[in-house]
Amino acid sequence: MPPTNTTESLAGYEQRYRELAAQLPTIGMIHSGSVTRRYTRCATPGCKCHADPPQPHGPYYQWTAKVNGKDRHPPNHRTRSGPLPGMDRERPPTTTPH
């Protein structure tokens, strides 16, 4: 049955807010922009990245966001020692439209 007055509506919204707020710690990393998983090849002759089949270096994660209509890469947007904070190296990030 729908709420009959403003107080009941507000109580319902507050309850839903508390339910959603309780889920936030389990959601993980949330940022605007996109995260791309990249693999690269180096210039070292004989490296595994030039083998047949090639075994490129990576994955490396790159975060890109729009700032004043232009793509920007924040400082330290890539890491060669592991994934970005909050990301699992074995599982691609969840993508959401922005």
Q: Which residue has the higher pLDDT, 48 or 84?
A: 48
pLDDT of the residue at 80: 43
DSSP letter at 50 equals: G
* Phi then psi dihedrals of residue 73, to 5 deg: -110, 110
pLDDT band for position 85 (cuts 50, 70, 90): low
Among positive and negative, which fits the CA dihedral 88, 89, 95, 98?
positive
Q: Which residue has the higher pLDDT, 9 or 44?
A: 44
Give yes or no for residue 18 having a pLDDT over 50: yes
For residue 59, cis peptide bond before it (omega within 30 degrees of 0): yes
Q: State pLDDT tens for residues 29-54.
A: 667 788 888 899 999 999 999 999 99
Domain borders along the chain are: 6-72
